[in-house]
Amino acid sequence: MRTTVSVIKADVGSVAGHHRPHQEMLNYAARKLREAEETGLLGSGYVTHCGDDIILVMTHNKGENNPEIHGLAWSIFKEVTEKVSRKLKLYGAGQDLLSDAFSGNVRGLGPGVAELEFNERGSDPIVVFAADKTEPGAWNIPLYRIFASPDNTAGLVIDPKLHDGFKFEVLDLIESQVVTLKTPEEMYDLIGLIGTPGRYAISKIYRAVDDEPAAAASTTRLSLIAGRYVGKDDPVLVIRCQAGFPAVGEVLSAFAVPPLVSGWMRGSHRGPLMPVSFRKGQNVVSFFDGPPRVMAMGWQVSNGRLVGVEGIEPADLFEDPFWEYARQKAAELAVYLRTMGEFEPARLSHEEMEYTTLPQILEKLKPRFRPVEEKQVTEK
Ligand code: 13P
Ligand code: 13P
Ligand code: MG
Ligand code: MG
């Protein structure tokens, strides 16, 4: 049986700055998803949030980029904006909805999308990650560790199905081009590209031995669509696990040492990606609007539906006390980076600040610059 997992997310407004959505927004979205289950459009629909982003996790049999599924997500985000966010004057109401020109697909309009269509195996565990206060390139290091590094993923060495490696689809977010690279043969080329996460982001991964889809990530860059700063593009990611894919434990272990990612305060800083438990309410930012964080939801995809630990409630994969270690490490790194204030590399590079309000400040200084020669003359 072919099943599609569609994860579609957007920030359409939040309480207390960029903290979290209002509960009414989540309730509204949950009602709409339940209706879609009742009409048979969805097998399952689950709504949650990561920081100020609403995450819709849906299963269905309509394939990727389906107008009905994208239309459902789009109408949920629009209606939540109009009926709740604007009414309550929430912060950044409708933030990620950059255009009204919906014509069957939300890609390019603001919401982030990660979709995987596959033939269900005898048992199909998936992990859905959602991050706040960062960008799609934040998945580059974890995805490299999970699917290309034998130091992270024992299965690359041990499991014959993983041993042939994976094919990475890498998007050039500036030029809107895509390239496919195969590991382990082209691992160094892959690193050469994805080492620049603000420009190159992994969008899809396939298992090399049979081209089975293994992972899908959202790759929206709002500022490149809008031409101005509109918050970061807090990304989502779906990974299939076990029995010929990386084990859930291998997937999670890629987050044990927090990578530094772009985002955080005003989308203008580098900070550690902190793995958090949503059941413990850690999926909301506070310190300097951060640090950037990631949550991990575990499900079985069974007969077109999501099976969690109780009904549809997902396993909270960063709840284990082990992750206190990574959280502590991330907190230390976060405090350390803040000692640098607005100096690179704690603040993003000049090029990456292009879509923020910093260029307006620097513009004012322009008339005051004079040639170096002139200065030397006056000093004589
Ligand atoms: P089990 O033998 O418990 O199925 O575990 C195998 C495995 O994949 C561990 O990561
Ligand atoms: P979001 O991208 O999560 O909306 O955050 C924007 C921001 O400016 C945080 O300081
Ligand atoms: Mg926001
Ligand atoms: Mg956000």
* pLDDT value at residue 241: 98
Question: Rounded to an integer, what distance in angstroms lies between the CA atom of residue 260 and that of residue 257?
Answer: 10
* pLDDT value at residue 228: 75
Question: Rounded to an integer, what distance in angstroms lies between the CA atom of residue 338 and that of residue 288?
Answer: 9
Give residue-wise pLDDT tens across range 204-263. Answer: 999 999 999 999 999 987 777 777 767 679 999 999 999 999 999 999 999 999 999 999
Q: Which residues contact 282 (CB under 8 A, 6 or more apart)?
A: 276, 293, 295, 327
- Please report, rounded to a whole number, the percentage of residues in the chain having pLDDT higher than 70: 97
Residue 192: φ, ψ to 5°: -55, -40
Question: Rounded to an integer, what distance in angstroms lies between the CA atom of residue 119 and that of residue 106?
Answer: 24
Tokens of 144: 């490299």
Question: Rounded to an integer, what distance in angstroms lies between the CA atom of residue 380 and that of residue 378?
Answer: 5
User: What average pLDDT does the chain have?
Assistant: 95
| Whether the Cβ atoms of residue 132 and residue 50 lie closer than 8 Å to each other | yes
Secondary structure of 130-154 in the HEC alphabet? EEECCCHHHHHHHHHHHHHCCCCCC
* pLDDT value at residue 376: 60
* pLDDT value at residue 225: 75
* pLDDT value at residue 108: 83
Q: Which helix (H) or strand (E) holds 50?
A: strand 44-50
- Please report, rounded to a whole number, the percentage of residues in the chain having pLDDT higher than 90: 86
289 lines ligand 2 (CB under 6 A): yes
378 pLDDT higher than 80: no
Question: Rounded to an integer, what distance in angstroms lies between the CA atom of residue 197 and that of residue 1?
Answer: 36
19 lines ligand 2 (CB under 6 A): no
Å from CA of 228 to ligand 1 middle: 47
Q: 316 catalytic, yes or no?
A: no
78 pLDDT higher than 80: yes
Tell me, what DSSP letter sits at residue 84?
I
Question: Rounded to an integer, what distance in angstroms lies between the CA atom of residue 157 and that of residue 136?
Answer: 28
> How big, in percent rounded to 5, are the helix, strand and coil portions of the chain?
30, 30, 40
Give residue-wise pLDDT tens across range 158-208. Answer: 999 999 999 999 999 888 899 999 999 999 999 999 999 999 999 999 999
227 lines ligand 1 (CB under 6 A): no
**pLDDT band for position 125 (cuts 50, 70, 90):** very high
Give residue-wise pLDDT tens across range 5-25. Answer: 999 999 999 999 999 999 999
380 pLDDT higher than 60: no
Give residue-wise pLDDT tens across range 313-359. Answer: 999 999 999 999 999 999 999 999 999 999 999 999 998 888 888 99
Tell me, what DSSP letter sits at residue 314?
P
Q: Locate the ligand 1 atom nearest the alpha carbon of residue 242 and give its number.
A: 8
379 pLDDT higher than 70: no
**pLDDT band for position 377 (cuts 50, 70, 90):** low
Q: 229 catalytic, yes or no?
A: yes
* pLDDT value at residue 373: 83
